[in-house]
Amino acid sequence: MQPLFKIVEKVNKLAGWLAGFCICAAAILIVAEIIIRSCFASTLYVADEFTGYLMAASSMLGLGYVEAVHGHIRMDLVDLLREKFPKLIRSLNYIAYIAAIIVALYLTWVSYKTFDQSFANGSRSMQISETLLWIPQIFLPIGSALLLLQYCVNFVLFASGRSQK
């Protein structure tokens, strides 16, 4: 299992870097729009639309990486009660991981269906760019699947006693 865990770790790290790149690209696009509006009294026309796509891609691609580094919000109260009620807290962690895996699995499935439907129908945005919607939507199932894989890895590590969180 260890080689599989390393692959998931590396893929999520790459996705985290891509998420950061998307944020930088969105910032550059916004600055370019501001400069063009201020200096040339014109617009890029697609800056707001593409910035939205980049932010959505960034959010989805970063999910697995943030879970890998335990960056998602957790209840510190659980840590405070760990010493007094270790069995209860361990049981609650099992329930939380199973619920998270189910939600991530559902999100992966639903987002894949959305992407697939847009791809099959050739759906386009209603904006001036008429972007094929499957292009920005492809990041939804990819990010959800990466989150799902990371939850599974963390669950196995937790169940085997190699992780406390």
**pLDDT tens, 77-122?**
666 777 788 888 889 889 999 999 999 999 999 999 999 999 999 9
Q: How far apart are CA 158 and CA 99, in angstroms?
A: 15
Q: pLDDT, tens digit, for every residue of 29-39?
A: 999 999 999 99
- The DSSP result for 74-89, as a single string, is --HHHHHHTTT-HHHH
**Six-digit token string for 59:** 């959010």
Q: Is residue 164 part of a domain?
A: no
Helix axis angle, 47-68 to 139-159, nearest 10°: 10
Burial call 110-138: b when 16+ CB within 10 Å, e when fewer: ebbebbeebeeeeeebeeeeebebbebbb
Task: Give the pLDDT score at 75.
Answer: 63
Tell me whether residue 165 is in a domain: no
- The answer to the question of residue 58 being in a domain is yes
4-57 pLDDT per residue, tens: 999 999 999 999 999 999 999 999 999 999 999 999 999 999 999 999 999 999
In a domain? residue 60: yes
In a domain? residue 90? yes
Mean pLDDT of the chain, nearest integer = 93
Q: Judge whether 99 lies within some domain.
A: yes
Overall domain count for the chain: 1
Range of the domain at 88: 2-159
Residue 41 within any structural domain of the chain:
yes
